[in-house]
Amino acid sequence: MLSLTVNASSKYDITVTDTLIAFREKCVPYMRGRNVAVVTDSNVNALYGDALSEYLSDKNVLKMVIPAGEDSKNGENYFKILNALAENGFDREDSIVAFGGGVVGDLAGFAASTYMRGVTLIAVPTTILSMVDSSVGGKTAIDLPAGKNLCGTFYQPKAVYINTAFIDTLPRREFMCGAGEILKYALLSDTVKAEDLKAGVNEKLIVKCLEIKRDIVEKDEKERGERALLNLGHTVGHALEKLYGYKVSHGECVVKGLAFSVFASEKLYGLDKKTVSDMERTVNLLGHDVSAGFSAEEIAKLIVSDKKRYGENVNFIALKGVGEPRVEKISLSALYELLDDYERKNNTL
């Protein structure tokens, strides 16, 4: 069993292990009230619906199951959760467990942060993406028709419990999605190597990724500056997610975005050719398809409507080298030119 502590506006431990056995010791003590809401999705419920029950036997458990998929991260489900909490007499001492991937974590986290101005949140991520990224750092959100994550809060959990055994039942696509986010860490820091993925996603690799995220979040919890580095690959990635109508996973779009970021970093900072070709090789080995299927113009148009845009500029995360990410304010026209060059190079973007 491994663990690490996040010292953000509140302090909490992340347990990384391969069973649920320590859940009672590591999480239950934070649940002060009698009521616990377990928010999960239909996929996790089918596989592990009762997995937490034995550890919560002395609580009143209210299980809420949302349909799996990004479409569920909406205002309707958010109010369903709040109303269910209210109708079942939940008070400020009670808790919410987010038991699932990124969608469940964001939705349940947003509900926890706003119900009675905030109740205890425990995160039990079940996908690689949520284990290495979204369950840690306190971002919560729902999507609005105008865009993803447009409504949310920063709200840290009281504890995060990662059970790597959940990885075994992930579909290949979900594995690829998480591997994409791990590739991001391999570019943000030289402590994680893309080759680490060959041994599978184990406790050690998860902790190495989380240490990178933890160090950034501790310095800039509310994303006033440095935390934006975690958005490497996301400027184009988010635009693609939207263009695909959220039918292509976040991680797959991030990999496409990372491939573009590496290309753009070579142009902007002269990022060395080896990093560029290593990235291309890893992406190919993982079987990711970096082609976007949309024109530079279509992608640029969506970036213009992104919330990370500032006037005529966008905050673009580029690399001077591996482990040397920088937030670069570039004009929309410069970004368009880079996208256009990339399109020409690949003839596929």
User: In the complex with ligand GLY, which residue's Cβ is closer, 198 or 224?
Assistant: 224
Give the Cα separation of 201 and 179 in Å (integer): 8
Q: How far is the CB of 137 from ligand GLY (least distance, A)?
A: 4
Q: Which residues have CB under 8 Å from 302's CB, separation 6+?
A: 238, 239, 242, 243
Q: How far is the CB of 229 from ligand GLY (least distance, A)?
A: 9
Q: Tokens at residue 340, please?
A: 């256009």
139 contributes a contact to ligand GLY by CB under 6 A: yes
Question: Buried (b) or exposed (e) across 85-117, using 16+ Cβ within 10 A?
Answer: beeeebeeebbbbbbbbbbbbbbbbbbbbbbee
Contact positions with ligand GLY (CB under 6 A) in 57-86: none
How many residues sit in the footprint of ligand GLY (CB under 6 A)? 5
Q: How far is the CB of 89 from ligand GLY (least distance, A)?
A: 33
The helix-helix angle for 250-269 and 273-285 (nearest 10°) equals 160
Whether the CA torsion 23, 207, 136, 156 is positive or negative: it is: positive
User: In the complex with ligand GLY, which residue's Cβ is closer, 14 or 36?
Assistant: 14
184 contributes a contact to ligand GLY by CB under 6 A: no
Q: How far is the CB of 347 from ligand GLY (least distance, A)?
A: 31
Q: How far is the CB of 21 from ligand GLY (least distance, A)?
A: 28
Q: How far is the CB of 149 from ligand GLY (least distance, A)?
A: 10
Residue 223 gets the label, from left (phi > 0), alpha (psi -120 to 50) or beta, of left
User: In the complex with ligand GLY, which residue's Cβ is closer, 216 or 259?
Assistant: 216
Question: Among 41, 94, 106, 133, which residue sits at the site for ligand GLY (rule: CB under 6 A)?
Answer: 133
Q: Among the candidate windows 3-11, 116-124, 131-139, 273-281, which touches ligand GLY by CB under 6 A?
A: 131-139
Please answer whether residues 332 and 313 qualify as being in contact, where contact means their C-beta atoms are separated by less than 8 angstroms. yes
Question: Among 137, 157, 237, 257, which residue sits at the site for ligand GLY (rule: CB under 6 A)?
Answer: 137
Q: How far is the CB of 199 from ligand GLY (least distance, A)?
A: 24
105 contributes a contact to ligand GLY by CB under 6 A: no
Please answer whether residues 42 and 67 qualify as being in contact, where contact means their C-beta atoms are separated by less than 8 angstroms. yes
Q: Among the candidate windows 75-83, 132-140, 182-190, 279-287, which touches ligand GLY by CB under 6 A?
A: 132-140
Question: Among 201, 230, 248, 302, which residue sits at the site for ligand GLY (rule: CB under 6 A)?
Answer: 230
Amino acid at 114: T
Helical spans, DSSP H, in 12-155: 23-26, 42-48, 75-87, 102-114, 128-129
3-state SS assignment for residue 97:
strand
109 contributes a contact to ligand GLY by CB under 6 A: no
- Rg, C-alpha atoms of the chain: 20
Closest residue to ligand GLY, Cβ-based? Answer: 230
Q: How far is the CB of 185 from ligand GLY (least distance, A)?
A: 11
Question: Among 184, 214, 227, 250, which residue sits at the site for ligand GLY (rule: CB under 6 A)?
Answer: 227
Give the Cα separation of 341 and 349 in Å (integer): 10
User: In the complex with ligand GLY, which residue's Cβ is closer, 133 or 241?
Assistant: 133
DSSP conformational letter for 222: T
Binding stretches for ligand GLY (CB under 6 A)? 133, 137, 139, 227, 230
